[in-house]
């Protein structure tokens, strides 16, 4: 028995190892999330259709159902609760952006993969976040 064990002093090695494992796991998780890149978009037609999902207002604020329609010419209509917004989607250099009538604008990120398609939208100056998938 070591002198420290006899004196009742706890050995710190497991805590240090546990902390190191948590740091490594958190780093891997963040690296995995950061590696998801939007799918390049060549035309608005790829985004056209009816989409549904949620809008989160503010930082970690309340969520509401969100319905989005994108026309092949880029016109868009969004509805959540009693709110309606109209706008336009444009594509340039493989990236899509949106502009709403209330002056909100920002990137429209499109993801297509084995698990399906999705769109995220967040205005450049924040305030809300949308995540939608094709309507069923």
pLDDT at site 31: 41
pLDDT at site 20: 52
What is the pTM for the complete model shown?
Answer: 0.72
Pair of tokens at residue 18: 């546990």
In which band, very low, low, confident or very high, does the pLDDT at 92 lie, cut at 50, 70 and 90? very high
Q: CA 10, 12, 13, 17: dihedral to nearest 10 degrees?
A: 130
Give the count of beta carbons closer than 10 Å to the beta carbon of residue 73. 11
Give the count of beta carbons closer than 10 Å to the beta carbon of residue 120. 15
Q: What is the mean pLDDT of residues 105-129?
A: 94
Concatenate the DSSP letters of all residues of 50-71 into one string.
EEEEEEEESTT--EEEEEEEE-
Asked if 49 and 120 touch (Cβ cutoff 8 Å), the reply is no
6 in the Ramachandran plot: left (φ > 0), alpha (ψ -120 to 50) or beta? alpha
Q: Is residue 32's pLDDT more than 50?
A: no
């Amino acid at each position: 028995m070591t002198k420290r064990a006899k004196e009742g002093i706890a050995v710190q090695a497991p805590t240090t190892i546990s902390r190191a494992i948590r740091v490594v796991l958190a780093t891997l998780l963040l690296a995995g999330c950061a590696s998801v890149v939007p799918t390049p978009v060549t035309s608005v037609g790829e985004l056209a259709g009816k989409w549904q999902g949620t809008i989160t207002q503010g930082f970690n604020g309340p969520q509401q159902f969100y319905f989005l329609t994108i026309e092949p010419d880029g016109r868009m209509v969004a509805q959540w609760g009693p709110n309606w917004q109209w706008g336009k989607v444009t594509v340039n250099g493989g990236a899509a952006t949106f502009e709403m009538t209330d002056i909100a604008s920002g990137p429209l990120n499109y993801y297509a993969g084995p698990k399906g398609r999705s769109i995220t939208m967040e205005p450049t100056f924040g305030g809300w976040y949308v995540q939608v998938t094709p309507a069923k």
